[in-house]
């Protein structure tokens, strides 16, 4: 009789834990899609704008197609005054990256970013500071600036905190 009790306890444990996963990867009842590690480099070798590993190597749950708008934004510029900072969420923990965009894209960025943020489940993991195009970080996004920087034959909006990105000569 005692072994039947053990089997019953094990079966109950399995039933209760069936479908249990790492709560950092998805919220209850939410299918966030596949985990995507897109931690490739962004501008000047900085972090990619669409995610990468989460805090402490944790998960990077992709926000899906709603967050893919970032690569289509106009980043070209003529002067620093034509650049603004857009703070883009990169994973379900709430990590963000600040990207430099042309001021004409502000409304489109704000509308698309709101939709993107709604696609992430709550992962119950800590978020870190915001990363800039220059690779610097800031906990206070008000410290982040945008500059119009030469990238070969073109000019591009890039974000930074204290180390303004240098112009890159034509190759």
Provide DSSP, 35-87: B-----B-GGG-B-TT--S-GGG---B---GGGGGGGGS--B-SSGGGEEEEE
* pLDDT attached to residue 169: 79
* pLDDT attached to residue 24: 32
Q: Give me the number of domains the chain comprises.
A: 1
pLDDT tier for residue 162 given thresholds of 50, 70 and 90 = very high
Q: Is residue 58 part of a domain?
A: yes
Q: Is residue 3 part of a domain?
A: no
Q: Is 141 helix (H, G, I), strand (E, B) or coil?
A: helix
* pLDDT attached to residue 8: 37
Q: Is residue 69 part of a domain?
A: yes
Q: How many helices (H) and strands (E) does the chain have?
A: 2, 6
pLDDT tier for residue 62 given thresholds of 50, 70 and 90 = low
Determine the average pLDDT of the residues in 140-169: 95
Q: How far apart are CA 171 and CA 87, in angstroms?
A: 30
Q: Is residue 138 part of a domain?
A: yes
Domain that holds residue 114: 36-160
Instruction: Give the DSSP letter of residue 159.
Output: E
Q: Is residue 56 part of a domain?
A: yes
Q: Is residue 29 part of a domain?
A: no
Q: Which residue has the higher pLDDT, 43 or 143?
A: 143
- State the average pLDDT for the chain: 73
Q: Is residue 171 part of a domain?
A: no
Q: Is residue 5 part of a domain?
A: no
Q: Pick from 43-47, 60-64, 118-122 the range whose average pLDDT is largest.
A: 118-122
The full length of the chain comes to 171
Task: Tell me which residue of 20, 12, 28 sits closest to 122, measured CA to CA.
Answer: 28
Q: Are 133 and 158 in contact (CB under 8 A)?
A: yes
Q: Answer yes or no: is pLDDT of 23 > 60.
A: no
Q: How far apart are CA 152 and CA 66, in angstroms?
A: 31
For 105-117, how does the pLDDT look when each residue is reduced to its tens digit (9 = 90+)? 999 999 999 999 9
């Amino acid at each position: 009789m005692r072994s039947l009790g053990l089997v019953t306890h094990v079966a109950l444990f399995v039933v209760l834990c069936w479908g249990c996963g790492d709560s950092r990867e998805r919220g209850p009842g939410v299918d966030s899609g596949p985990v995507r590690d897109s931690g490739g480099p962004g501008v000047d070798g900085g972090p990619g704008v669409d995610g990468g590993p989460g805090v402490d190597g944790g998960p990077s749950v992709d926000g899906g197609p709603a967050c893919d708008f970032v690569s289509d934004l106009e980043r070209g510029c003529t002067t620093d005054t034509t650049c603004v900072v857009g703070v883009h969420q990169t994973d379900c923990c709430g990590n963000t990256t600040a990207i430099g965009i042309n001021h004409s894209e502000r409304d489109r960025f704000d509308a698309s970013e709101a939709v993107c943020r709604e696609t992430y489940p709550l992962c119950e993991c800590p978020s870190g500071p915001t990363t800039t195009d220059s690779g610097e970080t800031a906990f206070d996004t008000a410290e982040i600036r945008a500059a119009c920087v030469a990238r070969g034959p073109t000019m591009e909006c890039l974000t930074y905190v204290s180390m303004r990105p240098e112009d890159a000569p034509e190759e």
